[in-house]
């Protein structure tokens, strides 16, 4: 009892000081305040009791042209706030190179939320997880030898400090007390699931307050368990938890209050669905149990964030993998997440059930539901004939970067974030036939060629690290390695590419490698293809190109119909695995033979209006239908129906 009274008094003093500071600040800002009223387990917004029901949306997963549409739908669904991560890797792709324009215009996104009468909860990180490559951390951190991410390791803290000193001053004018919509900022993310370096998390807390001021409301998010909260909790930072439907809400609340005796009860990630992997079932969360648990949360006066409310897409190569060496799995291009607003922005049953429930708890007088379409019109196009351009080997003379190394190097060592690396060397001995090629340090998937002829595929997900090959003294060995996504959870210190030695028959060590950079980002890839097409070399599809990764291209125009272009979905029936580029936009990976995602979302704004030409390019890795019949089967099509829950290979 004495301890509780002492804690109560301490919190009261802390709140009193905070309120005093904010009173001074808000006198100059029309009395805008947002504070945690710890003694009464609630928030106070402008002096009045407040709670939020928010939804997660990630600006980097939604085409910029659709930001306002999605935000408007979220407000019309009854939400009074949104939650978004800040993805460091997108804003600082290389050290000291910052990007806050276009798709990365975080400030514009936050301002748009404010125009839709939505408050903003900002999850700054620097680590965010979010099923993004390296959990949103920039790949170049791993170029520092022996760095330990997400700790007080100075090699990690130095770039973190530099990043926060760039980001947080941009955020400060958008804080609620300064006239903006941001009411809270998250420090790190689910740290109790990873480590227990309190020096690191306290350093982040103090850095946030140094730049943003002591009045800012900071919070942490961790799993619903004592083990998570023990290390995830940061002193003098609001603690929140996350869990999905079917959880015992009363017990979850008790768990939270064992680690934070006072303060509002908050679920920062109430799961509307779940993440999805290639070669696995698509995850669904049924509406009824979801609504039942949500209602129980609201009855307990909880503030809730629905994760995800609109999932969006993993465009480019930004999807993560998870599982590490034991059970590595790459995530889908789609981040539909079975969310209330689906990948293409359509409203489903879950959306309306949530809206009707929220209306019983939050004011709805300022919500405008006019001009909200539940389902937008989609377009389908006739089949498009693809034309073979070149194999991966034809590209090599046009590549700008290659490295000579005695031993294989990783993606990070050759300063490449995503895409592919091609490793080449020559055998300098007489191997047995067949011989066993071993690449135990493979991350993540590799095509093997002997004298530019397909020999087989190695795969980390399938634990295939050995391959029988036919070769001779002097044979050229080529290994094309695909980075399928760095881990976003747990195994985040992993490098990509070939991280160890390559041997033949477990005794002959292969050395003297030429390593070609194939980042295949939109600009470099399209430029390389353009150079190849402009060369005088005439490239013809030949039978010996069977299963050699190759590029295919098509130009097409849209029909002159009202409203076109519309959203649609790329269908690659007959194709195996690859990457699709539409008018310089990387739509992401397709892998219909693996499933469960069969089609790929192609947003309407990525198309050119008629009569302008559109261009689509496929980099097909495994096997194209063109090999069987280049006249009739070498086609793709844009269709109206999105399939993210199709049959999967196992």
Kindly list the catalytic residues. 190, 269
Q: Which residues pair with 34 in a beta bridge?
A: 45
With residues binned 3-state (H G I as helix, E B as strand, rest as coil), the percentages for the chain, rounded to 5, are 30, 30, 45
C-alpha to C-alpha distance for 367 and 406, rounded to whole angstroms: 64
Give the residue among 557, 542, 630, 622 at the shortest CA–CA distance from 590: 622
Nearest to residue 153, comparing CAs of 200, 88, 188, 192? 200
Euclidean distance between CA atoms 485 and 482, whole angstroms: 9
Nearest to 167 by CA among 216, 100, 218, 67: 100
Which CA distances in Å does 414 have to 137, 400, 511, 626?
A: 18, 13, 17, 34
First to last CA, the chain: 57
Q: Where do the DSSP E strands lie in 547-632?
A: 550-556, 568-571, 578-582, 585-590, 599-602, 614-620
**Contact 510/503 with Cβ under 8 angstroms?**
yes
Taking alpha carbons only, the member of 282, 88, 279 closest to residue 167 is 88
State how far the Cα of 391 lies from the Cα of 490, in Å rounded to an integer.
36
Distance, in Å, from the CA atom of 84 to the CA atom of 226, rounded to the nearest integer, reads 26
The C-alpha atoms of residue 401 and residue 16 are separated, in whole angstroms, by 60
Give the three-state DSSP class for 97.
strand
Residue 179: name the closest of 25, 48, 402, 367 by CA: 25
Tokens linked to 128? 């965010």
Q: Which residues contact 149 (CB under 8 A, 6 or more apart)?
A: 127, 137, 141, 142, 156, 492, 493
The per-residue b/e assignment along 350-378, b for 16 or more CB within 10 angstroms, e otherwise, is: bbebbbebbeebeeeeebeeeeeeeeeeb
SS3 of 132-160: EHHHHCCHHHHHCCCCCCCCCCHHHHHHH
């Amino acid at each position: 009892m004495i301890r509780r009274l002492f804690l109560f008094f301490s919190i009261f003093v802390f709140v009193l000081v905070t309120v005093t500071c904010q009173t001074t600040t808000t006198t100059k800002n029309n009395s805008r305040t947002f504070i945690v009223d710890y003694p009464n387990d609630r928030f106070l917004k402008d002096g009045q009791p407040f709670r939020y029901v928010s939804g997660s949306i990630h600006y980097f997963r939604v085409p910029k042209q659709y930001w306002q549409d999605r935000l408007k739908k979220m407000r019309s669904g009854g939400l009074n706030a949104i939650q978004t991560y800040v993805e460091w890797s997108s804003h600082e792709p290389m050290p000291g190179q910052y990007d806050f324009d276009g798709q990365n215009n975080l400030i514009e996104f936050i301002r748009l939320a404010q125009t839709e009468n939505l408050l903003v909860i900002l999850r700054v990180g620097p680590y965010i997880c979010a099923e993004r490559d390296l959990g949103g951390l920039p790949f170049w951190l791993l170029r520092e030898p022996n760095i330990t991410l997400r700790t007080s390791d100075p090699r990690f803290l130095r770039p973190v400090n530099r990043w926060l000193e760039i980001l947080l001053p941009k955020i400060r004018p958008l804080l609620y007390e300064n006239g903006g919509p941001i009411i809270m900022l998250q420090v790190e993310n689910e740290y109790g699931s990873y480590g227990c370096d309190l020096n690191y998390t306290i350093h982040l807390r103090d850095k946030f307050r140094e730049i943003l001021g002591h009045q800012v409301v900071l919070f942490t998010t961790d799993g619903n368990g004592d083990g998570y909260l023990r290390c995830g909790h940061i002193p003098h930072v609001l603690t929140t938890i996350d869990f999905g439907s079917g959880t015992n809400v009363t017990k979850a609340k008790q768990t939270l209050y064992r680690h934070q005796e006072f303060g509002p009860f908050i679920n920062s990630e109430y799961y509307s669905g779940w993440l999805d992997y290639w070669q696995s079932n698509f995850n669904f969360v049924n509406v009824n149990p979801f609504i039942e648990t949500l209602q129980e949360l609201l009855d307990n006066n909880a503030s809730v964030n629905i994760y995800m409310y609109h999932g969006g897409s993993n465009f480019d190569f930004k999807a993560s993998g998870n599982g590490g060496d034991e059970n590595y799995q790459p995530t889908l291009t789609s981040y539909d997440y079975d969310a209330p607003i689906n990948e293409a922005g359509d409203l489903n049953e879950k959306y309306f059930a949530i809206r009707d429930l929220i209306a019983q708890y939050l004011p709805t007088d300022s919500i405008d539901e006019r001009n909200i379409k539940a389902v937008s019109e989609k377009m389908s196009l006739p089949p498009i004939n693809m034309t073979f351009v070149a194999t991966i080997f034809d590209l090599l003379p046009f590549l700008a970067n290659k490295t000579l190394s005695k031993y294989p190097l990783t993606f990070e060592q050759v300063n490449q974030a995503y895409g592919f690396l091609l490793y080449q060397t020559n055998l300098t001995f007489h191997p047995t036939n067949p011989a066993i090629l071993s690449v135990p340090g493979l991350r993540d998937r590799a095509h093997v060629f002997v004298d530019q002829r397909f020999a087989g595929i190695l795969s980390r997900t399938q634990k295939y690290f050995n391959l029988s090959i036919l070769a001779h003294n002097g044979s050229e060995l080529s290994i094309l390695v695909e980075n399928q996504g760095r881990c976003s959870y747990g195994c985040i210190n992993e490098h990509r590419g070939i991280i160890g030695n390559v041997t033949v028959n477990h005794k002959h060590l292969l050395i003297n490698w030429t390593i070609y950079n194939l980042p295949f980002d939109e600009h470099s890839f399209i430029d390389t293809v353009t150079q190849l097409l402009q060369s005088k070399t005439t490239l013809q599809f030949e039978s010996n190109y069977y299963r050699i990764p190759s590029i295919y291209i098509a130009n097409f125009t849209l029909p002159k119909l009202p409203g076109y272009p519309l959203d649609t979905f790329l269908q690659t029936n007959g194709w195996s695995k690859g990457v699709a580029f539409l008018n310089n936009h990387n739509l992401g990976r397709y892998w219909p033979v693996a499933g469960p995602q069969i089609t790929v979302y192609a947003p309407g704004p990525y198309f050119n209006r008629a009569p302008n030409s559109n261009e689509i390019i496929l980099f097909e890795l495994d096997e194209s239908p063109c090999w069987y019949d280049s006249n009739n089967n070498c086609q793709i099509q844009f269709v109206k129906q999105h399939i993210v829950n199709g049959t999967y290979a196992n």
